[in-house]
């Protein structure tokens, strides 16, 4: 089964910019993997930020954006806020199976 | 209010069975695909199963294929996960999620805890 990799942890300064990435053991991540990005805070259910690589839901703050970058999917946070401190998971689609990444713990400090 | 509510989580012995439910309200349940995801204590998310709004296709993760069965009863606005031959590693919070358009994860439930232990 494919393995989806994320940075275990990242730190960003308030107001700063950070990029989280999502790689696949099978090769480059493409639009055909329909990448999702989720935010999860302690004790809460996940919240979907990005779907189909770049699409946002109505509740997704404008400071979050999804893209493909260097063979990986990427979630860029521009202008980090204290409330953005959370765990972030990506999710990729393969043929008849779907796999979450291990998550990135983002600290805003 | 549009919401999903999971229930059925419990303490069960290894080898036992359990059926989880996910009830939708505030929307037309029959028109949306549904997904099950779980999260072991202190661990990441794991995709388990998908069922389309028309009952087919259905997909399972390899880790639960042959042990878990997803179903839905649109008349009851309900999604189910029948879990058999439970193992300690199935201990987790189980979430259901509703799709919208091309997004599988438009709406999440709050989760229900399953503990497999003797």
pLDDT in tens, A49-88: 999 999 999 999 999 999 999 999 999 999 999 999 999 9
Interface residues from chain B to A (CB-CB < 8 Å) = 37, 44-47, 50, 59, 61-62, 95, 102-106, 108-111
Mean pLDDT of chain A, nearest integer: 97
For residue B103, give the nearest of A40, A48, A97 by CB distance: A48
Q: Which helix (H) or strand (E) holds B12?
A: strand B11-12
Q: A15 vs chain B: nearest CA distance in angstroms?
A: 27
Beta-carbon-side half-sphere exposure of residue B67 (alpha carbons within 13 Å):
16
Residue B111 confidence class, pLDDT cut points 50, 70, 90: very high
**Is residue B20 a contact partner of residue B105, using CB atoms and an 8 Å limit?**
no
Beta-carbon-side half-sphere exposure of residue B13 (alpha carbons within 13 Å):
2
B106 with A38: Cβ contact below 8 A: no
Q: A81 vs chain B: nearest CA distance in angstroms?
A: 23
Reading the block at residue A80, the tokens are 């980090």
In what order do the strands lie in the sheet containing B18-25? B3-7, B18-25, B78-83, B68-73
Q: Provide the pLDDT for residue A107.
A: 98
Q: A87 vs chain B: nearest CA distance in angstroms?
A: 9
A91 with B47: Cβ contact below 8 A: yes
Residue B15 confidence class, pLDDT cut points 50, 70, 90: very high
Sign of CA dihedral B78, B112, A59, B26: positive
Contacts of B106 in chain A (CB under 8 A): 48, 57
A52 with B102: Cβ contact below 8 A: yes
Q: How far apart are CA B33 and CA B53, in angstroms?
A: 4
Report in angstroms the alpha-carbon separations of A95 from A16, B56, B77.
37, 16, 29
Q: How far apart are CA A53 and CA B32, in angstroms?
A: 21
Q: How far apart are CA B12 and CA B39, in angstroms?
A: 17
Strands (E), A1-85: 4-6, 9-12, 17-24, 36-40, 47-51, 55-56, 64-69, 72-78
Residue A22 confidence class, pLDDT cut points 50, 70, 90: very high
């Amino acid at each position: 089964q494919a393995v989806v990799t994320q940075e275990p942890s990242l730190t960003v300064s308030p107001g700063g910019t950070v990029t989280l990435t999502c790689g696949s053991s099978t090769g480059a991540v493409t639009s055909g993997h329909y990448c999702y990005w989720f935010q999860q805070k302690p004790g809460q259910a996940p919240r979907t930020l990005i779907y189909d690589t770049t699409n946002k839901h109505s509740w997704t703050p404008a400071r979050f954006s999804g893209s493909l970058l260097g063979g990986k999917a990427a979630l860029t946070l521009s202008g980090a806020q204290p409330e953005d401190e959370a765990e972030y998971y990506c999710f990729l689609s393969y043929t008849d199976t779907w796999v979450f990444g291990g998550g990135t713990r983002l600290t805003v400090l | 209010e549009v919401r999903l509510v999971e229930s059925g989580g419990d303490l069960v012995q290894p080898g036992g069975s359990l059926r989880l439910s996910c009830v939708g309200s505030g929307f037309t349940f029959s028109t949306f695909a549904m997904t099950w995801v779980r999260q072991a204590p202190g661990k990441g998310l794991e995709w388990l199963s998908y069922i389309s709004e028309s009952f087919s296709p259905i997909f399972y993760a390899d880790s639960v294929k042959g042990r878990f069965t997803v179903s839905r009863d649109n008349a009851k606005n309900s999604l189910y996960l029948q879990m058999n031959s439970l193992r300690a590693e199935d201990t987790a919070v189980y979430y259901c999620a509703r799709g919208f358009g091309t997004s599988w994860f438009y709406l999440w439930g709050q989760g229900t805890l399953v503990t497999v232990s003797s």
